[in-house]
Amino acid sequence: MQAGALIIGDELLSGKRQDKHMQALIRILAARGMKLAWAEYLGDDPVRIEAALRRASAGGDLVFSFGGIGATPDDHTRACAARALGAPLELHPEAKALIEGRFGADAYPHRILMGHFPQGAAIIPNPVNQIAGFSCGSVHFLPGFPSMAWPMAEWVLDTHCRHLFNDQPDVEQSCIAIKAREGDLIGLMQDFTVRYPALRLSCLPNFGSEEIPEMHIEFGFAGQPALVEIAIDEWVKALQALGYEVRAKNPQAES
């Protein structure tokens, strides 16, 4: 099971607001030895939101959906989730009690709409204002406000996803080949990809920087620590055998 994110809101695509959810989710997952496999940005378009939620529900990934679960007319996520799942929206009894407990009579007629979830949904506690999010299978629906969404995502992981935690997370080690060109090393990269199918090889060309003014390429191997150590050692030796100056970079945990 991989982890993904749906980040919803016209304000993000128009540039009125800068997204902070993806970087926060990367950090939250990394703290548990996990990583973000994919992310998708969506405007407040019900057709696109519904289609994305259909894919997310059918894909089997652990998915966090941020935004669009309020009570204003531009909040479409709850209704789109219901259509994507083929389930009616209904007032969740726990969500109803929380909203009424916070707002009393002022919960009606509008605020109570935030407690309408697809039938069968489970609530996600909101530690800030008690207005719950909800989960439908492995898709978890959170508000767009970071102060609420991030602790709610942590609660989902710590309550329901401990079996996905990894106490030996992947690492990445990199090296820099001075005056290297991609085209000259494609064959070598292909050989190492076949030799180490469990690792991910990255290649980042650079035409020169303040730190390294010459043209160079940063190569990286990502995966389990022991295998990465072997692969990067062999890669450096292979580059040196071809006459390249190679500079090592320190290993780092993936985030």
Cis peptide preceding 225, ω within 30 of 0: no
Phi, psi of 24 (to 5 degrees): -65, -40
- pLDDT given for residue 167 in this prediction: 81
Residue 172 near residue 179 (C-beta atoms within 8 A): no
What CA–CA distance (Å, rounded) separates 22 from 217? 27
CATH 3.30.70.3270 fits domain 3-164: no
CATH superfamily assigned to domain 171-253: Malonyl-CoA ACP transacylase, ACP-binding (3.30.70.250)
What CA–CA distance (Å, rounded) separates 106 from 85? 31
- Tell me, what amino acid is at 39? A
What CA–CA distance (Å, rounded) separates 76 from 145? 16
pLDDT tens over the chain, length 255 residues:
899 999 999 999 999 999 999 999 999 998 898 999 999 999 999 999 999 999 999 999 999 999 999 999 999 999 999 999 999 999 999 999 999 999 999 999 999 999 999 999 999 999 999 999 999 999 999 999 999 999 999 999 999 999 999 888 888 999 999 999 999 999 999 999 999 999 999 999 999 888 889 999 999 999 988 899 999 999 999 999 999 999 987 544 443
Are β-strands 133-136 and 122-124 bridged in parallel, bridged antiparallel, or unpaired?
Answer: antiparallel
- pLDDT given for residue 255 in this prediction: 33
- CA-to-CA dists, residue 235 to 184, 195, 225, angstroms: 15, 11, 15
| All structural domains of the chain with their residue ranges | 3-164, 171-253
What CA–CA distance (Å, rounded) separates 104 from 205? 60
**Number of helices followed by number of strands (H, E) in the chain:** 8, 13
